[in-house]
Amino acid sequence: MRKISKCLPVLLVVLLSAAGSYAQDRAQMIVTPAWLAEHFKDPNLVLLHVGEKGEFEKGHIPGAQSVAFSADISTPYEKGKLSLELLPAEQLKANFERLGISDDSRIVVYYGKDWVTPSTRVIFTLTYFGLGDRTSLLDGGMPAWVAAGHETTTDVKAAALGKLTPHPHPEIVADAEWVSAHLHQPSVGIIDSRDADAFAGTDPQWIATPTIYVRGNIPGAQSIPSESFITDKNQLKDRAAIEDLFKAAGVKPGMQVVTYCWVGQRATLAWFLARSMGYDARLYDGSWQGWSGLRKDLPIEKSPAEKQGH
């Protein structure tokens, strides 16, 4: 099952959007197995495997380091607090250096099987830390690498300790106050990355436990479920198809894109792809948990199902 629910020395070109933040060129943000094979022996290449530990141990791309999703890049779960929040910069520095990342590293993130949005969450975290201009996603992950005839291994070798200088980019993160201040602005497109049933208010969990799950969305948000961006083979759809998805959601050239989901994972795929299309994009990291769960003072737009009286 696709894991989406619970969104070298090559310098990457930086494209400045109308709002002033950078967005990389799609061809350099997203690499193919053929590209990776060509650069496989580059001395500053760092491969990060995103997936379950047992999956990594059964086989991974040679030289890859396994990212412990809940420890290396995010805060631990605590009841009554936001989930999946960014770690402090010094903690991220130590974790990334342990994975072998240095200031001159060329980083490729890939999913071992189907953890697409956890992989883009890793990329979001690297970008926040200042490494986005040299970080790429391997399209199709390890399955595409294997399908192309390339080798995998069960050997695990600790990375040489890296040396990093933090350069945080807080402008890629939006908090509840920022989102609240930009509701219904024609220059801002808010994208809800939860599945279609969640956006419509027909999710069985909401219906069964209405005191836990608040039905609705951020006012003015448009729905693009994370699955919409991905083919049946867990590869990203082509540029034209992704452009059409954003266009159908009312996103126009020059607009700023803000994405959210349940806790800030699924939405990183829309954030990543919006950047690849040249948009100035932010992630509302608190997402629906923060907007409707931990806060009671923020406006909620009723879901389509509630508007129809269901």
Host H or E run for residue 176 = helix 176-181
Question: What's the length of the chain?
Answer: 310
pLDDT at residue 306 greater than cutoff 60: yes
Confidence at 63, pLDDT banded by 50, 70, 90:
very high
**What pLDDT was estimated at residue 281?**
97
Smallest CA-to-CA distance from 29 within 123, 113, 140 is with 123
Q: Using an 8 Å Cβ cutoff, are 270 and 277 in contact? A: no
**What pLDDT was estimated at residue 209?**
58
pLDDT at residue 6 greater than cutoff 70: no
Q: Do domains 14-169 and 171-307 have the same CATH topology?
A: yes
Higher per-residue confidence, 240 vs 74? 240
pTM: 0.89
Give the start-to-end residue ranges of the domains of the chain. 14-169, 171-307
Q: What are the pLDDT digits (tens) for 197-236? A: 889 888 776 655 555 568 899 999 999 999 999 999 999 9
- pLDDT averaged over the chain? 87
Q: Between 3.40.250.10, 3.40.30.10, 3.30.300.30, 3.40.50.150, what CATH number should domain 171-307 receive?
A: 3.40.250.10
Exposed e or buried b for every residue in 167-204, given b needs 16+ CB within 10 A? Answer: eeeeebbbebeebbebeeeeebbbbbbbbebbbbbbbe
Q: Mean of the pLDDT values across residues 191-196?
A: 96
Q: Mean of the pLDDT values across residues 302-310?
A: 66
**What pLDDT was estimated at residue 1?**
36
Task: Average the pLDDT over each of 187-191, 233-237, 289-293 and give the range with the smallest value.
Answer: 289-293
User: What is residue 225's DSSP assignment?
Assistant: -
Please tell me the distance from the alpha carbon of residue 112 to that of residue 142, in angstroms, as a whole number.
5
Q: Mean of the pLDDT values across residues 161-184?
A: 96
Confidence at 104, pLDDT banded by 50, 70, 90:
very high
Surface-to-core class of residue 24, CB atoms within 10 Å of its CB (0-12 exposed, 13-18 middle, 19+ buried): buried
**What pLDDT was estimated at residue 207?**
58
Q: Using an 8 Å Cβ cutoff, are 153 and 57 in contact? A: no
Q: How many CA atoms lie within 13 A of 284 on its CB side?
A: 30
**What pLDDT was estimated at residue 13?**
27
pLDDT at residue 11 greater than cutoff 50: no
- 240 Cβ contact list (under 8 Å, min separation 6): none
Q: How many CA atoms lie within 13 A of 106 on its CB side?
A: 19
**What pLDDT was estimated at residue 310?**
53
Please tell me the distance from the alpha carbon of residue 167 to that of residue 69, in angstroms, as a whole number.
21
| Topology given in CATH for the domain delimited by 14-169 | Oxidized Rhodanese; domain 1 (3.40.250)
